[in-house]
């Protein structure tokens, strides 16, 4: 899979090499453990085993990361752990990371992507075409908003209403 470049020589790509995967986890650790203290020792969980890990790099330096994974066979995907190193946040790595994740999930047959977004970042995601779902709530001590975006090729009847369980409102229908 090829990456994409922005005018500032930012390359976004799937973390395929061991070096990219390690850099992906370093960025997440720097943001979610060291900077924001959302997690105490690590932000890694069971989803990392099957997730597609994506990195954003300026030259050889990885400055951003996001992961995405399918939640079901009907095309529901989750994007999460979007992180950009503090010193690189002015370099506009966030939008290319989100767009790459959305496009990648769509290419893998996804119809809807969901994410839990920290409250200060909701306007950013709205600008990128995402929509809010439900009311904000607390997650690990910070206010978050569930959001979603239709992926390419989504059938007209495919909507978040059928996936309340994915937003924590119960279990999936049998």
**pLDDT over threshold 80, residue 1:** no
Q: Is the dihedral of CA 140, 142, 148, 149 positive or negative?
A: negative
- Residues 159-172 pLDDT 10s: 555 555 556 654 44
pLDDT of amino acid 173: 41
pLDDT of amino acid 170: 47
Least confident segment among 52-56, 62-66, 153-157:
153-157
Question: What does the chain come to in residues?
Answer: 174
70's tokens: 């399918």
Least confident segment among 77-86, 90-99, 127-136:
90-99
State how far the alpha carbon of 90 is from the alpha carbons of 12, 31, 32, 76, 100, in Å.
16, 15, 18, 31, 19
| Closest among 151, 150, 115 to 134, alpha carbons compared | 115
Q: What is the Cα–Cα distance from 35 to 33, expressed in whole angstroms?
A: 6
Using DSSP, state whether 125 is helix, strand or coil: helix
Q: What is the mean pLDDT of the chain?
A: 87
* Mean of pLDDT values over 97-123: 94
């Amino acid at each position: 899979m090829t990456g994409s470049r922005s005018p500032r020589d930012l390359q976004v790509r799937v973390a395929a090499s061991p070096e990219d995967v390690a850099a992906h986890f370093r960025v997440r650790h720097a943001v979610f453990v060291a900077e924001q203290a959302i997690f105490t020792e690590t932000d890694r969980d069971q989803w990392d085993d099957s997730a597609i890990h994506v990195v954003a790099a300026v030259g050889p330096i990885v400055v951003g990361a996001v992961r995405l994974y399918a939640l079901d066979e009907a095309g529901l995907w989750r994007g999460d752990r979007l992180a950009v190193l503090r010193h690189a946040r002015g370099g506009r790595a966030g939008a290319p990371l989100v767009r790459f994740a959305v496009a990648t999930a769509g290419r893998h047959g996804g119809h809807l992507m969901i994410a839990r977004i920290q409250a200060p970042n909701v306007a950013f995601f709205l600008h990128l075409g995402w929509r809010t779902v439900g009311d904000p709530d607390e997650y690990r001590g910070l206010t978050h908003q569930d959001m979603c975006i239709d992926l390419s090729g989504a059938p007209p009847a495919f909507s978040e209403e059928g996936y309340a369980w994915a937003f924590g409102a119960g279990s999936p229908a049998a």
